[in-house]
Amino acid sequence: MRFLSFFVAMIGIGYCADSLNITKIFKYNKFLSNTRSLVKYNNYLFVATDYGLRIMDISNINNPILLNYLEKNPKPLRSLKIYGNYLFASSIFGFDVYNISNPTNPTVVFQYTGCCPNDYSI
């Protein structure tokens, strides 16, 4: 049993050491606002910012392309999650659900607005 515990501990240490080798691939700083959350869907990257949702093509990771944006002022987005073909985007006033079957042009299928300016986490 001691050997098994030692072996498991060594695997964990090795994994942690490997996860520290991070290489920056690109930097994109053209949003003019804070980036709050990122989520990948196939070759697309959805980015939650203070001004809304940004959709990027990352099929060429060295050359990301901004494809579309959905302004949400005065509802800055906070967190994003994807379940199937749906993107859940929380803001300080509630959350929106988008159908992302066509990722370059998501459509809102549901909106929830809370009573108070809280940060909803998904």
Any domain includes 5: no
Q: What is the pTM of this model?
A: 0.74
Q: Is 79 inside a domain boundary?
A: yes
Domain that holds residue 40: 35-113
Q: Looking at the DSSP assignment, which residues form a beta bridge with residue 35?
A: 49
pLDDT in tens, 66-93: 999 988 766 788 889 999 999 999 887 8
Question: Average pLDDT for residues 21-43, to the nearest whole number?
Answer: 81
SS3 of the chain: CHHHHHHHHHHHHHHHHHHCCCCCCCCCCCCCCCEEEEEEECCEEEEEECCEEEEEECCCCCCCEEEEEEECCCCCEEEEEEECCEEEEEECCEEEEEECCCCCCCEEEEEEECCCCCCCCC
Residue 6 located in a structural domain: no
State yes or no: pLDDT of 13 exceeds 60: no
Is residue 107 included in any domain, yes or no?
A: yes
pLDDT at 80 (0 to 100): 94
Residue 10 has pLDDT above 90, yes or no: no
- Residue 71 Cα to chain centre, angstroms: 16
Residue at 78 is within a domain: yes
Q: Per-residue pLDDT averaged across 12-28, rounded? A: 63
At 67, which CATH number?
Answer: 2.40.10
pLDDT of residue 100: 98
Mean local confidence (pLDDT), 111-116: 76
Decide if 25 is inside a domain.
no
Does some domain include residue 21?
A: no
* Better-predicted residue by pLDDT, 122 or 48: 48
Whole-angstrom Cα distance, residue 35 to residue 28? 11
How many domains is the chain partitioned into structurally? 1
- Does residue 74 form part of some domain? yes
66, 30 Cβ separation under 8 angstroms: yes
- Place 120 in a pLDDT band, splitting at 50, 70 and 90: low
> Using CA atoms, how far apart are residues 101 and 83, in angstroms rounded to an integer?
12
